[in-house]
Amino acid sequence: MVNAVALFATEGFGAANLPYGSFSLDGGNTFRLGVRLGDKVIDLGALAATVPGLSQKAQAAVSFHNLDLLLAEGATTWRPVREWIVATVTSDEHADAVTAAAHDIESATFQLAFSPADYVDYYASEHHATNLGKMFRPNEAALKPNWKHLPVGYHGRSSTLVVSGTNITRPKGLRPRGEDAPSFGPSERLDIECELGFVVGGSAPTGEVSVQRAAEEHIFGVFLFNDWSARDIQNYEYVPLGPYLGKSFASTVGTWIVPWDALKDARIAPSERTEPLADYLDDSEAAGGPYGLDITLGVTVNGETVSHPPYGLMYYTAPQMVAHMTVNGATLSPGDTFGSGTVSGFDKNQRGSFIELSWGGKEPLQLADGTEMTFLQDGQVIGLTGTAKGAHDETIDFGDCIGTITPAT
3-state secondary structure of 38: coil
Other beta carbons within 10 angstroms of residue 212's beta carbon come to: 16
Residue 128: active-site member: yes
How many CA atoms lie within 13 Å of 145's alpha carbon, on the beta-carbon side?
0
- The rounded Cα 409 to chain-centroid distance in angstroms is 28
In the chain, the amino acid numbered 376 is L
- 185, β-bridge pairs: 173
Which residue in 7, 218, 275, 259 sits closest to 113, CA to CA?
Answer: 259
In terms of C-beta density within 10 A (0-12 exposed, 13-18 middle, 19 or more buried), how is residue 208 classed? middle
User: Is residue 15 a contact partner of residue 394, using CB atoms and an 8 Å limit?
Assistant: yes
Please give the Cα distance from 122 to 336 (Å, whole number): 14
Burial 239-276, CB ≥16 within 10 A → b, else e: eeeebebbbbbbbbbbbbbbbbebbeebbeebbeeeee
- Give dist(CA 64, CA 100) in Å, integer: 18
Catalytic residue among 94, 127, 128, 308: 128
Per the CB < 8 A criterion, the answer to whether 25 and 90 are in contact is no
Cβ–Cβ < 8 Å for 379, 358? no
> Which residues, in sequence order, are CB contacts of 243 under 8 Å at separation 6+?
154, 156, 229, 234, 237
- Residues designated catalytic: 128
